[in-house]
A and B are shown apart, each in its own frame.
Chain A
């Protein structure tokens, strides 16, 4: 099972600490949603900068000046995976103001990130995300005044966009805010399961202290009416997305169902 986290500089724990904790808790993989937490895996350290699109570089330098500029092993997903025995997936969570800037960001990040999430919470953004097959996950669709209906659920199913169920409020909020969040989760669950749209489950951990082991997540979700196996499917779905996208980005991949075989070398 996989978990998707926010890492330093976006949160209080580095990718390595998240990875160490998640490995201890029994996760097989860790999806890092934070844009600036890792270096691109497939480019060497010296050439990393020119290959990445310009807006990302500009943002990372202006918004987070204290970020480690040196490119050490702690920013390399492969080195982290090897050190902690957990699959570290290089992802991004796009938090855009409107669909047109979201569209630009999706185009920018899709080539070099394994998983692309788009933070919802606004009707237009939710709609954009579920209608865009290049988006893997619509994150937190119900926060703020965001809403999901049957139209969006059908679009999500047709485009293979996974709808995220954020268990963060269940674990960390109390009182009225938790009640509202749970009511939203229930509504979302009813719509998504009816149309059989793909889903992912996450605790949206902002630090290693907010991580919870898979069995705890399942137990907590079960206590508020989720089906245990359905929650486990949601945790596994992160890994399935990562595996599918890695295969698509591999050199042998041509299109779904068509792979470059070993006889190609002759010609």
Chain B
């Protein structure tokens, strides 16, 4: 179909979203997109969720950290932010989620806010509490495995 004249095209905003999980979680694009839609549908209803039109444009997730670009309509950025904030788990894995910034183009969004994952994660034993425990260390963050699951700590705790 012939594309729309410029003044009729929807105006978009692109949300740079930072994601944090426990190191054993594996998220994929589809499950994250589904979580976003469910969150928007539950919080804003069908009508509101259609207005916001949340679409996942790019997604990456490694050990314990990830990032995504989410597209939303310009007039409904506040609702989009609310829907993103209400994503508390993806496929049963709890996620920490944070809007790093909002841009008017995908390119500006990626240049300004993406690609911060930089630090690689390593597995090593750390002193936590009164015992040596295995942990996944990523920059300052340090997820310690204990009997009752992971505990989020930092290198400041384990020195």
Given contacts A171-B88, A174-B42, contact A211 B96 (CB under 8 A): yes
Chain B residues near A69: list those with CB within 8 A: 130
Q: Which of A17, A24, A216, A224 is the one whose CB lies under 8 Å from B157?
A: A17
Taking CB atoms and an 8 Å cut-off, the chain A residues in 163-208 that contact chain B are 170-172, 174-175, 178, 207-208
Given contacts A12-B152, A14-B153, A68-B130, contact A210 B79 (CB under 8 A): no
- Interface size, chain B (Cβ < 8 Å): 38
Contact A68 B96 (CB under 8 A): no
Contact residues of A: prevailing secondary structure: helix
Contact B153 A219 (CB under 8 A): no
Nearest neighbor of B140 in chain A, beta-carbon distance:
A20
Contact B152 A208 (CB under 8 A): yes
A225-B78 Cα distance, complex, nearest whole Å = 13
Chain A residues near B151: list those with CB within 8 A: 8, 12-14
Nearest neighbor of A79 in chain B, beta-carbon distance:
B156
Given contacts A16-B154, A223-B44, contact A210 B88 (CB under 8 A): yes
Chain B residues near A222: list those with CB within 8 A: 78, 82
Contact B152 A223 (CB under 8 A): no
Shortest CB-to-CB span from A231 to chain B, Å, is: 12
A66 within 8 A of B: yes
Q: Which of A13, A16, A67 is the one whose CB lies under 8 Å from B156?
A: A16
Nearest neighbor of A69 in chain B, beta-carbon distance:
B130
Contact B157 A14 (CB under 8 A): yes
B114 within 8 A of A: no
A28-B159 Cα distance, complex, nearest whole Å = 25
Taking CB atoms and an 8 Å cut-off, the chain B residues in 83-103 that contact chain A are 83-86, 88, 94-99
A220 within 8 A of B: yes
Chain A residues near B95: list those with CB within 8 A: 209
A72 within 8 A of B: yes
Taking CB atoms and an 8 Å cut-off, the chain A residues in 1-46 that contact chain B are 8, 12-14, 16-17, 20-21, 24-25
Contact B129 A209 (CB under 8 A): no
A74 within 8 A of B: yes
Contact B152 A213 (CB under 8 A): no
Chain A residues near B94: list those with CB within 8 A: 207, 209-210
A97 within 8 A of B: no
Contact B99 A209 (CB under 8 A): no
Contact A66 B130 (CB under 8 A): yes
Contact A212 B152 (CB under 8 A): no
Chain B residues near A155: list those with CB within 8 A: none
Contact B130 A216 (CB under 8 A): no
Measuring CB to CB, which residues of chain B are less than 8 angstroms from any residue of chain A? 20-22, 38, 42-44, 78-79, 81-86, 88, 94-99, 128-130, 140-142, 146, 149-154, 156-157, 159
Closest 3 CB pairs of A and B: A13-B152, A216-B85, A209-B96
